[in-house]
Structure 1
Amino acid sequence: MDNYNQDNLNIVLEDETLRSESTRPATGEEQRTSKPINVTVIQVYAPTTGADDEEIEDFYVSLQQLVDATLKNDTIVIMGDWNAKVGSKPITGITGNFGLGDRNEAGDRLFEFCQNNSLSITNTCFKQPKRRLYTWTSPNGQYKNQIDYILCSQRWRSSIQLAKTRPGADCGSDHELLVAKFQMKLKTTNKTARPARYNLSKIPCKYAVEVKNRFDGLDLIDREPEELWSEIRDIIKDEANKNIPKNKMPKKAKWLTADTLKIAEERRNAKGSGDKKRFSRLNAEFQRRARRDKEKHINDQCQQIEDNNRKGKARDLFKKIDEIKRTFHAKIGTIKDKQGRDLMEKEDIKKRRREYTEELYTKDTQSIDENDGSTIELAPEILESEIKWA
């Protein structure tokens, strides 16, 4: 959610899912076109039980605004750390028979939210061993609770086939990985492949020779300009394809070193064996090494940019800058209506753009018509004597 961006909420999608149509990507929210209906996924991080009542209420107000902006026929999936306990008592349509513990005050607020929006808490609906039900372990390892949940629309509750935690997953957190199997056919779109660009820094002499030879053989007498241009264009493209190499998309640099990856593997084994002290030590070591490796990777990238700048390699300089921007820049944007609500349908977006453009021209016309009638004195024309004097 936008108001809680400091908690670094992210949604990770597989390549196949990314090929489906996305109507509105935003921080903590993702909408995908699917069959038979669209799917809106919202990732949340709720305030802890020690937070002020005002902060908790602000969280739910912001969340409700996101839900209200979603089309009524869409299915909603809301997941994340709710910092709430819903308890083991089943509530028809909302919780199942397999919750943990007793419901607390934060759980009451979550229950109210689910009731108002017809949502089910899916990971309380499937029978699992307790180790696959709890989602959080206290730092000292003495307490285990179920505070992370995956919510979905009650209408599409049957689309959730399974929900459980994976205690063996090594994610370097006191939370367990919570997964749900959601069966719905996504509608994929065929994206137009971008044509590969020629590597202009590696144009061989053979290319210039071949183009010149073919130009010399052109018949320039009594030719239509468009016909001649087409033949010249085909010669240039044909010889370029034969002789000029094309740029290859650079692979993303793997900035984690082999030693750091080895620490990560040892950390995973320590978690699997239940050695909490060793796991904590290895986790701290991994975080330290990962930060060091990332800093070194960024410094190396900056050094390459400085070298290209010093040597006057402008093309390589801006190419490297573009690679760095493409790596870390997220293309996120929304169109809002006059009331500040996000627009998701293509027709609504087109209509809003048309309205905005019309308003721009209307304002310009009004500014001209709203002249107060005062006379504006123009400066006198420049005299010839003034020009000679200058």
Structure 2
Amino acid sequence: MKSRTKLNKQQQQQNNKIKTKQNHTLITIIQRQQTDEKFCENLRVHMGLNDLNENEGNNTSTHRNGVGIIATDKIIDYVTECVSYSDRIMLMKINAKPVKLNIIQIYAPTADSSEDEIEELYEQINYLMKQLKPHEINMVIGDFNAKVGAGRVDGIVGPFALGLRNERGDRLIQFCQEQKLKITNTWFCLPYRRLYTWTSPQHSRGNIIRSQIDYILINKRFSSSVKSVCTYPGADVPSDHNLLVAKINIKLARTRREHRQPKIDVEKLNNTDIKNQLATEINNQLRSVMEESENIWDHKYVAKQKWMTPEILQMMEKRRTFKNKNSAEYRSIHHQIRSSIKKAKTDWLSKECSEIERLQQNHNDFNLHKKVKEVSGVYRRSHTTTLRNENGQIIIESDEIKKEWEKYIKNLFSDTSRDLHPTETFNLLSEVPITIDEIKKAIKSMKKNKTPGPDEIP
């Protein structure tokens, strides 16, 4: 008991140090059914998570399997690549310091699946691990549907695991030994309720069935950067899995991108009418902002989606109070929320469709297409593309991608039917040198207000 208390104090001190630094949120999800789309919407509403990279699972009507990663806008700025490898595996590469961070999100087959499916999954993970550099931070996270069980395995499984080990757990440990990975959520001394990740449907007060089947793996070299890993069984999540949260001490390195601001044609301000009109519009906008800002801070709930209503947000807040306290009331409010969301989306879409019809009647094609893209989610949807070589293998490294594209372009524009006989060359340069007067005449004949070059001189 003394050692457990001492470890808890040390962990609390480490967490306090981490809280002083800037936190970044990255959430991985497993999309096993279509209803998980509503769960993703709730995450976006509560946490302001706008960007979702996912694969849609298999091609059946239920879209089972599938994995995804939800990230804040700050995290998206550091993402260099996102690869959807299969309906159970995806890879996200993040630019970090001093080395890059590579996250492989997986969803393993359930217990009723065959051994061939399990081996196929690990073969795919091994292939992706070979494409990554060993000196970078490589993490494999997700639902492994395996029990490593209590019992320490040197360098892999810690002393704080749960349950009894099964065959899938032995296969997971073998995979960790091959790839030199460490199961992080078995190395922190926590209460049992902060260790289990899944609750069985047959669970009851008299028959407790809780297991630890979700894991966060990291290469041993960087295991010290993981400061804490624990579950949150009281989180408002409509799932039989608990949220598994890891705090990692790492710095993010922003990818440098050149953002050139559009230049304003200030010469128009020489016109007095335009100048006065602009000043009037700015003053009117400032007055309206000052009048509206008086009531903005009174709202407790902020809708992140256009179709969201304050009533739905209030029901979500009410539902959270019944988590792990009153299951019947929690399910009742959850059904009400889903019905309200469906009605709110239908009303919002009807309103947007009416606006699209009005734009079509007015023959306003520009705003019509813009509105259609906005409603259909073309601007919000993130597309993950993968490049494969002639052998059908996925290419991840940037240098190999450049070589493959170079090879593709050469083959695309090669012309074997051309007569490649040598031709005579002519000296096109004149023997008479160019004079300064000719240069001045050429400069004076150029038009003004042309697009500037790299030196920003028009």
TM range (shorter): 0.7 to 0.9
Contact 2:109 2:117 in 1 (8 A): yes
Q: Which residue does 2:145 correspond to in 1?
A: 83
Shift in alpha-carbon separation, 1:138–1:262, aligned structure 2, 3 A: farther
1:290 is the counterpart of 2:290: no
Matching of residue 187 in structure 1 with residue 253 in structure 2: yes
Q: What's 1:387 paired with?
A: none
| One-letter amino acid matched to 1:256 | M
| Runs of 4+ residues deviating >6 angstroms | 237-241
Q: Which residue of 1 aligns with 2:226?
A: 160
Shift of residue 122, structure 1, vs aligned partner: 0.7
Larger radius of gyration: 1
Q: Of 68, 83, 88, which residue of structure 2 is paired with 1:10?
A: 68
Q: Distance in 2 between matches of 1:2 and 1:313?
A: 35
1:178 match: 244
Write out per-residue CA displacement over residues 333-380 of structure 1, whole angstroms, 9 at most, x where no aligned residue. 233333333333333322221111111233x31x668xxxxxxxxxxx
User: Alpha-carbon deviation of 1:139?
Assistant: 3.0
Aligned counterparts of 1:291 and 1:76: Cα–Cα separation in 2: 40
- Whole-Å Cα distance in 2 between the matches of residues 257 and 194 of structure 1? 37
Q: Give me the whole-angstrom Cα distance separating, in 2, the residues matched to 1:320 and 1:107.
A: 51
Match of 1:138 in 2: 200
Please say if 1:300 is aligned against 2:332. no
**CA deviation vs aligned residue, 1:19-60 (integer Å, no higher than 9, x gap):** 225144446221012112111111111111011222222222
Secondary structure, counterpart of 2:395 in structure 1: coil
- Deviations along 1:88-122, whole A, 9 cap, x unmatched? 11111111111110011221222222121111111
1:32 to 88, 94, 109: 94
- Please tell me whether the aligned partners of residues 23 and 33 of structure 1 are also in contact (alpha carbons under 8 angstroms): no
Q: For residues 292 and 79 of structure 1, do their structure 2 counterparts lie closer, same or farther at Cα, with a shift above 3 Å needed?
A: farther
Displacement of 1:188: 1.2
Residue equivalent to 1:205? none
Structural mapping, 1:209-358, within 5 Å:
235-236=267-268, 253-272=305-324, 274-324=325-375, 325-358=377-410
| 1:49/1:320 CA distance change after superposition, 3 Å | same
State the alpha-carbon separation in 2 of the partners of residues 238 and 84 from structure 1: 73
Alignment of structure 1 residues 56-75 onto 2, 5 Å: 56-75=118-137
Structure 2 residue matching 1:127: 3-state secondary structure: coil
1:222-261 residue CA offsets vs partner (Å, 9 max, x unmatched): xxxxxxxxxxx76359879966789xxxx96432322322
In the alignment, the residues of structure 2 paired with residue 292 and residue 313 of structure 1 have an alpha-carbon distance, to the nearest angstrom, of 29
Residue 37 of structure 2: aligned partner:
none
Q: Pairwise mapping of residues 192-203 of structure 1 onto structure 2 (< 5 A)?
A: 192-193=258-259, 195=261
Q: Which protein has the bigger helix share?
A: 1
Distance in 1 between the 2:232 and 2:124 partners?
30
Work out whether residues 55 and 67 of structure 2, in 8 Å CA contact, stay in contact via their aligned partners in 1: no
Range that drifts further, 292-301 or 178-187 = 292-301
**What TM-score comes out, normalization by structure 1 length?**
0.75
How far off its partner does 1:315 sit?
A: 2.0
Residue 181 of structure 2: which of 115, 119, 124 is its match?
Answer: 119
* Distance in 2 separating the partners of 1:119 and 1:109: 13
Give the aligned residue type for 1:56: I
Q: Is contact 1:21-1:187 (8 Å) kept?
A: no
Report the AA paired with residue 353 of structure 1.
Answer: W
User: Aligned partners of 1:197, 1:304: CA distance in 2, in Å?
Assistant: 33
Aligned residue for 1:221? none
Given that 2:78 and 2:254 are in contact with CA atoms closer than 8 Å, whether structure 1 keeps it comes out as yes
What runs of 5+ residues in structure 2 fail to find an aligned partner?
1-53, 283-302, 420-458
Structure 1 SS opposite 2:322: helix
2: CA distance between counterparts of 1:60 and 1:67?
10
